[in-house]
Amino acid sequence: MLTHTGTNEIETENLLLRKFEYSDSDDMLKYWISYPELQALYGEPAYTTKDEVNDLLNKYITSYEKKDYYRWAIILKETNECIGQIAYFLVDNKNHFAEIEYCIGLHFQRKGFATEATKAIISYGFDKINLHKIQISHKSINIPSKKVIEKCGFVYEGSLRHYFYENGIYVDRLYYSILRTDFMPI
């Protein structure tokens, strides 16, 4: 049985994972949410105005009332800037698993922040929520995300071939998982 805790603050060496706040909107626009090529990698539209971002933030913030809602702003502790987001966007109560999505601003990629945030919520998922399995996927064209997933200890499970049709080509969706029994605390 899952123990839902809601989105609680998590601190790592370089990051603070916390609930989104309306004051994050400028950083979101500056670093990640307004970039179509970045947002498309995890199936989200680009948001180009502060009003659009505030509408999205309102959705996030009001959802924090639900104990089974898990979405964190990724805050770089050194600068106190919101450089991305990470979430359990799918939580399956019956089968005791959840699926992760994340997005890190282009300027902050390849610095280990996505791996650090992902490892932190894996630990949270097993230790606090009592998940049995955590899954994650990426588009076959997103090689940096594949590297993050592998560094976090996920095991490749399979591909959904030609899952997406983008810019005139078909793109596969690759799935990975980690089980509680595979997990070693970070």
pLDDT tens track, the chain, 186 positions: 999 999 999 999 999 999 999 999 999 999 999 999 999 888 899 999 999 999 999 999 999 999 999 999 999 999 999 999 999 999 999 999 999 999 999 999 999 999 999 999 999 999 999 999 999 999 999 999 999 999 999 999 999 999 999 889 999 999 999 999 988 654
Q: Which two tokens stand for residue 95?
A: 């089968």
Instruction: Measure Cα distances from 131 to 73, 128, 149 in Å.
Output: 21, 8, 18
HSE-CB at 166 with a 13 A cutoff on CA atoms is 16
pTM as predicted: 0.94
Lookup result for tokens 């810019």: 167
**Complete domains list, the chain, with CATH:** 10-136 (3.40.630.30)
Q: Are 122 and 58 in contact (CB under 8 A)?
A: no
